[in-house]
């Protein structure tokens, strides 16, 4: 089922997924919207960017924070990481 209120990713125009914030995280929010499109340029470019800047293997997905009304990076260490928290 598609959440009609989910925003579109500004990088790949995919419908973003409602994503439950993990327990024990420092975020006060219950959920964010995250682009889980594995072809998203934000995600695919992130690997090289982090490799060059931090020297580690990770990337980030585009996260929308509904309270701050901002798009922010969500760090991930693999393409499958964090997908278990998708709620829709």
Beta strand 17-20 pairing with 31-34: antiparallel
User: Which one of 8-16, 49-57, 63-71, 75-83 is the stretch in contact with Zn ion (CB under 5 A)?
Assistant: 8-16
Q: In the set 6, 9, 50, 74, which binds Zn ion (CB under 5 A)?
A: 9
Q: Looking at beta carbons only, is 10 or 22 nearer to Zn ion?
A: 10
Residues 6+ apart with CB under 8 A from 52: none
In 3D space, the residue among 79, 88, 81, 80 whose CA is nearest the CA of residue 32 turns out to be 88
Shortest Cβ 62–Zn ion spacing (Å) = 5
Asked if 41 and 12 touch (Cβ cutoff 8 Å), the reply is yes
Among 6, 18, 32, 40, binds Zn ion (CB under 5 A): 40
How many residues interact with Zn ion (rule CB under 5 A)? Answer: 6
Helix or strand run (H / E) with residue 32: strand 31-34
Residue 39 Cβ vs Zn ion, minimum distance, rounded to whole Å = 8
Where on the chain is the footprint of Zn ion (CB under 5 A)? 9, 11-12, 35, 37, 40
């Amino acid at each position: 089922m598609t959440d009609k209120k989910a925003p579109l990713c500004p990088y790949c125009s995919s419908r973003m997924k409602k994503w439950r914030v993990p327990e024990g995280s420092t975020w006060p929010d219950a959920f964010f919207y995250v682009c889980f499109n594995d072809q998203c340029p934000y995600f695919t470019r992130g690997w090289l960017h982090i490799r060059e800047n931090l020297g580690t293997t990770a990337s980030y997905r585009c996260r929308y924070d509904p309270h701050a009304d901002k798009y922010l990076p969500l760090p991930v260490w693999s393409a499958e990481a964090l997908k278990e928290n998708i709620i829709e």
